[in-house]
Amino acid sequence: MSSTSSRETAQQAVAPANAIPMMAQVYVRLRHRLREVESLIETLPHRDADGVDELQTQRQVLEAQAAALRDIAARALVVPISARVIVGSIVHLRSEPDGSLERYEIVLPTESEPATKKVAFDSPIGRALLGREVGERTVIETPRGHREVRIMVVKHQ
């Protein structure tokens, strides 16, 4: 067994089943965003001077976002860059059978911008690609239906 495959096997043995593989840079951005959100929560008063609950609503939204980021951070697994799709990967796909090409970047939910092909790892496209490697075929299930794709290139910046 090669040292790479034994290293991958060891990582899989200690990684929880719901681990989210990601690049170190993505993990740093995740922790930074979590600190930003927590700082914003700390600066908000519990109620404004007029007793209006608008600030309470803002607090609840920020607390929900912080909880989601904490969950992702708790499941984050920083992995070495390889041919596998991880959070932070740029993936080039070929649709089967028409052969059209597409490019997606797999990002954190807070960085998602579908219009620019930045898709969250927990989106239908992200879920279909995460953990796959170059040459694999997979099916992407979306509200518009399903389609088969082949992973052609996996890049990391």
Decide which of 60 and 157 is more confident. Answer: 60
In order of start, what are the domains of the chain with their CATH numbers? 18-78 (1.10.287), 89-156 (3.10.50.30)
pLDDT at 144: 83
Cα angle, residue 109 at apex, residues 111 and 21 outer, rounded to 5°: 105
Per-residue model confidence as pLDDT tens digits over 8-48: 444 444 556 789 999 999 999 999 999 999 999 998 876 65
pLDDT at 12: 44
Residue position matching structure tokens 């620019």: 116
Does the pLDDT of residue 115 top 90, yes or no? yes
Q: Which residues 6+ apart lie within 8 Å of 33 measured at CB?
A: 69, 108, 110
pLDDT at 96: 85
What's the rounded mean pLDDT across residues 103-130? 95
